[in-house]
Amino acid sequence: MPSTPPAELIALRSAVAVRERCAQVRDWVAQGRSPHFTLDTDRLDATAAFVAEVTRASYPDLAIPHHSRWRHFSAGEYDRWSALPLARLSAIERARAAVDLTVVSVLLDAGAGSAWRYREAETGIAFTRSEGLAVASFAMFRDGLFSSNPDQPLSVDRTALAGLAPAALAAGFQASERNPLVGLSQRLDLLGRLGAALAARPDLFGANGQPGHLIDAIAAASPAGSIAAADLLGLLLDALASIWPSGLTVEGVALGDAGRHPAARTADRSDGIVPFHKLSQWLAYSLIEPLAQGGVTVVALDGLTGLPEYRNGGLLVDMGVIVPRTPLDPAAPHDVASELIVEWRALTVALLDALREATRRCLGLETLSMSQLLQSGSWSAGRTIALDKRPPDGPPPIAVQADGTVF
Burial of 280: CB neighbours in 10 Å, binned 0-12, 13-18, 19+? buried
Q: How does 112-126 read in b/e, with b if 16+ C-beta sit within 10 Å? A: beeebebebeeeeee
Distance (Å, whole) CA 173 – CA 146: 14
Percentage of residues of the chain with pLDDT beyond 90: 82
Distance CA 293, CA 92 (A): 8
C-beta of residue 141 within 8 angstroms of C-beta of residue 101: yes
Note the pLDDT of residue 404.
Answer: 61
Strand partners, 249: 254
Is pLDDT above 90 for 38? yes
Q: What is the pLDDT of residue 2?
A: 47
Domain boundaries, the chain: 7-401
Helix (H, G, I), strand (E, B) or coil at 324: strand
- 35, 325 in Cβ contact below 8 A? yes
Rounded Cα–Cα distance for residues 100 and 164 (Å): 16
Range among 112-121, 251-260, 347-356 with highest mean pLDDT value: 347-356
Dist CA 393 CA 133 (whole Å): 16
Write down the H helix ranges in 122-228: 129-142, 158-162, 166-172, 184-200, 202-205, 214-221
**Burial label, 406 (beta-carbon count in 10 A; 0-12, 13-18, 19+):** buried
3-class state of residue 368 by DSSP: coil
Q: What is the pLDDT of residues 247-306, one digit of tens each?
A: 788 888 888 899 999 999 999 999 999 999 998 999 999 999 999 999 999 999 999 999
What pLDDT, in 10s, does the model give residues 359-404?
999 999 999 999 999 998 898 999 999 999 999 888 899 998 876 6
Per-residue confidence (pLDDT) for residue 1, from 0 to 100:
38
- 22-41: average pLDDT: 98
pTM, two decimals, is 0.92
Residues 283, 265 contacting (CB under 8 angstroms) = no
Rounded Cα distance, 398 and 391, in Å: 15
SS3 241: helix
